[in-house]
Structure 1
Amino acid sequence: MDIDYETALPHLRAKFAEMGVSFGEGTLAHAAAVGITQLAWRNGPIENAHAGERGRRNGLHDGVMFARNTWVFHQALEAVRSTDQYALLSFEDRILDRSLVWPGTSSTLSRFGYGALGDIRKHAKGRVNYLLELEDAYGQGSEEFLLLAGSGALFQHDRFGMPGWEPVVERIAMRLRGEDEEFVSYLAVRAGLGFEAWLATAPSLVHEDLPRVVESLRLAPYRLDARVLKWFAWNPVLTHRGT
């Protein structure tokens, strides 16, 4: 089914405005980068590999995915901000580079995506071709292109790269410092854990240099070791919404 872009654009503009995202303030580029990450990388064969037995065999755990997804976001952000007409193709080359060591890890796509490399490549190239068509239709870096490219970010308000991520990181910092009384109670009632016992499960870096951990989570989680990020993934310090 063909997509009616002209009908979709006002809706996207209005929905993003409700989220505090706009072209004029430059935040729409971030939403586009989130959408492109979803489109070309996250929602594809790599996620299927991560979720199944292949992911366990290849060491593609939650921390690796956390690091990789946030790194891909930054590559996408660079591409949508670039004036280079080949920026999206350069983005494609980087995310499909089989020899590039993934930040936060000591390995590469060749290992993490082993058994699905052809599907990963086909998926990414197909999605980038779609984005190139949007660029041709609306212009590189145009508001229309960014709105359409960012459509996958509409339900990602509190994900990394979106306006809601900053409060999430602030909440994480408060919880790790023991300043969130509701969270401490939640751990005791729902998880049967005292705060100190729960905090003792955190990676050593959390205890040794919490400011570095918090700043990395805020700006570029992939700067942290994937084993550190694995602790945060699905951890109530990140996922619990509070009351």
Structure 2
Amino acid sequence: MGHGDRGDRGGPARATAGGEAAKLPSGRHRLSRDYVASNQRARILRAVTEIVGGKGYAQLTIDAIVGASAISKKTFYEHFRNKEEAFFAAFDSIAARMLAAFDDAAAGRREPDARLRAGLGALLELLAAEPLAARMGVVEVLAAGPEAVARRDRIKQHFSTIVVEHLLAMYPDFPEPELAAEVIVGGVHEVLYSRISRGEAHALPAVRRGLVRMYAIPALPRTPH
């Protein structure tokens, strides 16, 4: 077919679990150019996640990506300049889903503790349901270079802002909330990292209660310098 795709024969394109695109039919079809491009891009991002999450960032190559996504190299380069750019796009997609899971679950709750429990629970459920994405987004991102780490750090900063808001809602005079948030988010990240790196992403929802208790720390009295 056109656009350098190596699709399945027969049958329409289908969406796989999580909204990921299946291979397109080969031969003539009436699919729009935009649909084809979107499908190809989704398959590339899925392939990157499968390779990095399943085998490690060191195994990410253009050949591996085009093989796993069943496209041609020509098609790959129509979407991305190199494997790094494809990795960043896949990571950003994972990060967006993580943030949306937390924010959407928390949005409908009024009390700070309820927002925290709902948001954190939704995030842990997402990571448990997508272990390859969890490993790529939390563990393997550290092997992908400074730009990848910077993107990871922006996600941590987003959650730090949420923690600051939570602490100040509970304790308006909480001393140094930004520092406390940095420590809390760093601790949560370490728990996620250790579980995911051991292949235990499926067990993450079970640690929600303990993680929530990390936020429920009492306000410390201010001490004179």
Normalization by structure 2: what TM-score? 0.28
Normalization by structure 1: what TM-score? 0.27
Q: Which has the higher contact order (CA 8 A, sep 6+)?
A: 1
